[in-house]
Amino acid sequence: MKIIIYKNFLTGILLFTLMSCDVFLDEIHEKNEQENFTSAYMGKWTGSYTGDLNGTLIFNVQKNATVEINRNGQEIYSSALIGSSFNVDKAPSGFILYGNLENKSGTWEMGTLKGTWSVAKN
């Protein structure tokens, strides 16, 4: 009886150890994928926005899909891409972009003002 309990105890420890290693290996694999990721939209994009206001846009997309957005050479803020679409981050002024870089266009809003934007990759 003691031998059966001892074997079950050792089997439980072995299974727990193997599951812990599996989780650890999954975390390492996920970290490596993040480090090796390069956004397909990486690079500099330039264009304009029109509508209730008009101006210029410059997007600098980094390797990790973060985006520095320069509006009219005066307001610079950061956002990120989810796939090709902008994560909904507002500039300090309230200016916000909707759309994606696959279509190279979208809409914008700032309070009650709105319009469209388009860019091209340099």
3-state secondary structure the chain: CHHHHHHHHHHHHHHHHHHHHHHHHHHHHHHHHHHHCCCCCCEEEEEEEEECCCEEEEEEECCCCEEEEEECCCEEEEEEEECCEECCCECCCCCEEEEECCCCEEEEEECCEEEEEEEEEC
Render pLDDT for 60-89 as a digit per residue (tens, 0 to 9): 999 999 999 999 999 999 999 999 999 888
- Where do the domains of the chain lie? 1-36, 43-121
Percent of the chain at pLDDT above 70?
75
Q: How confident is the model over 10-25, as a mean pLDDT?
A: 63
The C-alpha atoms of residue 96 and residue 69 are separated, in whole angstroms, by 10
In this predicted model, which residue has the larger pLDDT, 54 or 2?
Answer: 54
Q: Which of the four pLDDT bands, split at 50, 70 and 90, describes residue 12?
A: low
Q: What is the mean pLDDT of residues 92-115?
A: 96
* Greater pLDDT, 118 or 16: 118
117 and 108 Cβ atoms separated by less than 8 Å: yes
